[in-house]
Structure 1
Amino acid sequence: MSKSDIATIINTFSRLGDRLSHPDAELMQIIESERHYNAWFTPESVLKAVKANGAMLNRDDLEKWLNNYPPANNTSQKKVGLVLAGNIPLVGFHDVLCALISGNHALIKASSQDTRLIKYVLNLLVQINDDYKNKFSFVDRLENFDAIIATGSNNTSRYFEYYFSKVPHIIRKNRNSIAVLSGQETADELFKLGNDIFDYYGLGCRNVSKLFVPDSYNFNFFFESIEGHQAIIHHHKYNNNYDYNKSIYLVNRDEHLDNGFLLLKPDTRLTSPLSALYYENYTNQQQLKEQLNRQENELQCVVTNMTLQTKTQVTGFGQSQYPKLWDYADNVDTMEFLSNL
Structure 2
Amino acid sequence: MQLPERINAFVKLGDFFRQFSNDVILKADNIAHNDLFFDGFKHQLKLAEEHNGWFTPENIRFAIKGWADLLSTENLNKWLKPYQINNVSPKKVAIIMAGNIPLVGFHDFLSVLITGHEVLVKQSSSDKHLLPFLAKYLEYVAPQFKGKINFTEAKVEDFDAVIATGSNNTARYFEYYFKGKPSIIRNNKNSVAILTGNETSEDLKNLSEDIFRYYGLGCRNVSKLFVPKGYKFDAFFEAIYHWHPIIDRVKYANNYDYNKAVYLMSEFDMLENGFFMIKEDESYASPIATAFYEYYEDKESLKEKLETEKNKIQCIVSQGFVENEIPFGQTQKPQLWDYADSVDSIEFLLAIS
> Which TM-score tier does this pair reach, normalised by the shorter chain?
over 0.9
Equivalence for 1:18: 15
Query: For 1:125 and 1:191, how far apart are their aligned partners in 2?
Result: 38
Of the three residues 108, 113, 127, the one matched with 1:114 is 127
Of the three residues 292, 299, 311, the one matched with 2:313 is 299
Query: For 1:233 and 1:173, how far apart are their aligned partners in 2?
Result: 29
**C-alpha distance 187-29 of structure 1, shift in aligned 2 (>3 A):** farther
Equivalence for 1:324: 335
Say if 2:115 is the partner of 1:102: yes
Question: Conserved in 2, the CA contact under 8 Å of 1:32 and 1:42?
Answer: no
Equivalence for 2:345: 334
**How many residues are matched?**
334
Query: For 1:157 and 1:36, how far apart are their aligned partners in 2?
Result: 29
Equivalence for 1:77: 90
Runs of 4+ in 1 over 4 A off after TM superposition: none
Q: For residue 63 of structure 1, report the CA deviation from its aligned partner.
A: 1.0
Matched residues, percent identical? 47
Query: For 1:256 and 1:84, how far apart are their aligned partners in 2?
Result: 35
- Answer with 265-274 or 278-287: which moved more: 278-287
- In the TM superposition, what whole-angstrom CA distance separates every residue of 1:201-249 from its partner, at most 9, and x where no partner exists? 1111011100111221111111011110011111111111111111111
Query: For 1:29 and 1:157, how far apart are their aligned partners in 2?
Result: 33
Question: Conserved in 1, the CA contact under 8 Å of 2:47 and 2:129?
Answer: no
Q: For residue 284 of structure 1, report the CA deviation from its aligned partner.
A: 2.0
Q: For residue 340 of structure 1, report the CA deviation from its aligned partner.
A: 0.4
- Structure 1: state its 5+ residue gaps: none
- In the TM superposition, what whole-angstrom CA distance separates every residue of 1:2-35 from its partner, at most 9, and x where no partner exists? xxx3332332222212221222452334323322
Equivalent positions of 1:1-341 (< 5 A) are 5-23=2-20, 24=27, 26=39, 27-74=41-88, 76-140=89-153, 141-304=155-318, 306-310=319-323, 313-341=324-352
Question: Conserved in 2, the CA contact under 8 Å of 1:56 and 1:323?
Answer: no
Query: For 2:194 and 2:43, how far apart are their aligned partners in 1?
Result: 39
- In the TM superposition, what whole-angstrom CA distance separates every residue of 1:269-290 from its partner, at most 9, and x where no partner exists? 1111111100011222211111
Q: For residue 263 of structure 1, report the CA deviation from its aligned partner.
A: 0.6
- Answer with 180-189 or 285-294: which moved more: 180-189
- Answer with 12-21 or 268-277: which moved more: 12-21
Question: Structure 1 length as normaliser, TM-score?
Answer: 0.94
**C-alpha distance 18-182 of structure 1, shift in aligned 2 (>3 A):** farther
Query: For 1:119 and 1:199, how far apart are their aligned partners in 2?
Result: 25
Which amino acid letter does the alignment assign opposite residue 121 of structure 1?
L
Query: For 1:130 and 1:231, how far apart are their aligned partners in 2?
Result: 45
- Structure 2: state its 5+ residue gaps: 21-26, 28-37
Q: For residue 47 of structure 1, report the CA deviation from its aligned partner.
A: 1.0
Partner secondary structure for residue 315 of structure 1: coil
Query: For 2:228 and 2:298, how far apart are their aligned partners in 1?
Result: 8
Query: For 1:72 and 1:236, how far apart are their aligned partners in 2?
Result: 50
Question: Structure 2 length as normaliser, TM-score?
Answer: 0.91
